[in-house]
């Protein structure tokens, strides 16, 4: 394998077979947190009724998960907001104080996707906060600290279809409801594996060097697209400034469960958990079908962000920088 991250040998860690028989077609793209001594995944479940719902899976050790008996009782938005939610997906969970703020994709069959915000304290009771973007915006991830006194989030506005070029933006808010100050943050790179579009993965993690962001990058192929994972380090106070950015994917779709599925050649994450021992865990959707786990020591990842990623081209025996 050529990926920088190490896959868990028991991958995939969750499939539809872990849910009641016949209830779902696919599972994918969980949000993840450590909560009250457990690892908790908030999983996208592609239900047989052709909608996506959230379902929680729990683990004591971070490797062996079991789904709750029932899906999440997701809050219904007030009719006054004028937005009927037909499906939810790709939750990114940020802890601020005793609250967990969840930014997710809210889908309307006629109007498209916009950013929804829900909060919880116990992952049993959920409260709707707002639909906090216009349509055609997704991949929102909230910073765990305010920037210059304001909530700050990544977002990814887009136009056209799934193969439209897209970059990552930042926006700011006083109250999590009304957002402004939109500005570009990170751009796709030509002639690279993140050349077509990019989007936030995990909520940013504060490390000594700056904000660590694990994001997904997409490139076009002869018969579709490939989704990989990348890392970037951003400035503390001005997160639109790049400190260091890895050139090559840290996780690339190589295994059978990553290469073949509902959407082939996809690794996609909405989370990253930094352990006390410095290991970074990433739970990811594989080919929009199942869930895998990959890990990497933080110090290794930071080093590779600042230095060219080195790999060996075995056929000629040369090291390429």
Rg of the chain over all Cα atoms, to the nearest angstrom: 19
Higher pLDDT, 168 or 159: 168
pLDDT at 308: 61
Please, which pLDDT band fits residue 309 given cuts at 50, 70 and 90? very low
- Angle 113-139-14 from CA coordinates, rounded to 5°: 100
**pLDDT (tens digit, 9 = 90+) per residue, 164-199?**
789 999 999 999 999 999 999 999 999 899 999 999
pLDDT at 313: 36
pLDDT at 122: 98
Assess whether pLDDT exceeds 90 at residue 319: no
Who contacts 62 (Cβ-Cβ below 8 Å, separation ≥6)?
Answer: 39, 273, 281, 293
- Distance from C-alpha of 5 to C-alpha of 231, rounded to nearest angstrom: 11
pLDDT at 78: 84
Higher pLDDT, 52 or 314: 52
Q: Which of 4, 16, 6, 18 is CA-nearest to residue 64? A: 18
- 263, two tokens: 């959407």
Do residues 72 and 88 lie in contact, with contact meaning Cβ atoms separated by under 8 Å?
Answer: no
Q: What is the DSSP pairing of strand 52-59 with strand 197-200?
A: unpaired
Assess whether pLDDT exceeds 70 at residue 52: yes
Phi, psi of 29 (to 5 degrees): 45, 60
Please, which pLDDT band fits residue 317 given cuts at 50, 70 and 90? very low
Q: Which residues is 191 bridged to in the sheet?
A: none
Assess whether pLDDT exceeds 50 at residue 320: no
- Distance from C-alpha of 321 to C-alpha of 308, rounded to nearest angstrom: 6
Residue ranges and CATH numbers for the domains of the chain are 6-320 (2.115.10.20)
- Distance from C-alpha of 268 to C-alpha of 287, rounded to nearest angstrom: 8
Q: Which of 137, 114, 123, 14 is CA-nearest to residue 70? A: 123
**pLDDT (tens digit, 9 = 90+) per residue, 103-130?**
999 999 999 999 999 999 999 999 999 9
Assess whether pLDDT exceeds 80 at residue 11: yes
Across the chain, mean pLDDT equals 93
Do residues 15 and 256 lie in contact, with contact meaning Cβ atoms separated by under 8 Å?
Answer: no
Please, which pLDDT band fits residue 224 given cuts at 50, 70 and 90? confident
Q: Which residues is 200 bridged to in the sheet?
A: 215
Q: In percent, how much of the chain has pLDDT > 90?
A: 85
pLDDT at 207: 98
């Amino acid at each position: 394998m050529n990926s920088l991250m190490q896959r868990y040998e028991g991958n995939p860690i969750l499939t539809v077979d872990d849910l009641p028989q016949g209830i779902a077609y696919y599972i994918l793209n969980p949000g993840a947190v450590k909560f009250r001594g457990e690892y908790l995944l908030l999983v996208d479940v592609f239900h047989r009724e052709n909608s996506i719902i959230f379902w929680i899976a729990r683990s004591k050790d971070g490797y062996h998960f079991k789904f709750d008996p029932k899906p999440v009782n997701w809050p219904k938005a007030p009719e006054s907001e004028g937005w009927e939610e037909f499906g939810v997906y790709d939750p990114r969970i940020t802890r601020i104080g005793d609250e967990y703020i969840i930014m997710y994709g809210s889908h309307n069959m006629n109007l498209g996707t916009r950013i929804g915000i829900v909060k919880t304290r116990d992952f049993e009771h959920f409260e709707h906060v707002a639909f906090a973007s216009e349509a055609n915006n997704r991949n929102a991830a909230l910073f765990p600290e305010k920037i210059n006194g304001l909530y700050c989030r990544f977002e990814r506005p887009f136009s056209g279809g799934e193969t439209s070029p897209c970059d990552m933006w930042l926006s700011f808010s006083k109250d999590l409801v009304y957002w402004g100050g939109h500005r570009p943050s990170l751009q796709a790179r030509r002639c690279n594996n993140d050349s077509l579009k990019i989007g936030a993965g995990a909520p940013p993690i504060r490390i000594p060097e700056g904000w660590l962001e694990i994001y997904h990058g997409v490139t076009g192929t002869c018969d579709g697209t490939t989704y990989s994972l990348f890392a970037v380090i951003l400035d503390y106070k001005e997160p639109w400034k790049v400190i260091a950015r890895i050139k090559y994917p840290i996780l690339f779709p190589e295994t059978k469960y990553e290469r073949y599925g509902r959407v082939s050649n996809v690794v996609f994450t909405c989370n990253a958990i930094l352990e006390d021992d410095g290991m970074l865990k990433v739970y990811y959707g594989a080919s929009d079908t199942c869930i895998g786990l990959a890990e990497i020591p933080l110090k290794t990842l930071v080093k590779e962000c600042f230095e060219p990623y080195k790999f060996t081209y075995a056929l000629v025996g040369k090291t390429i920088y």
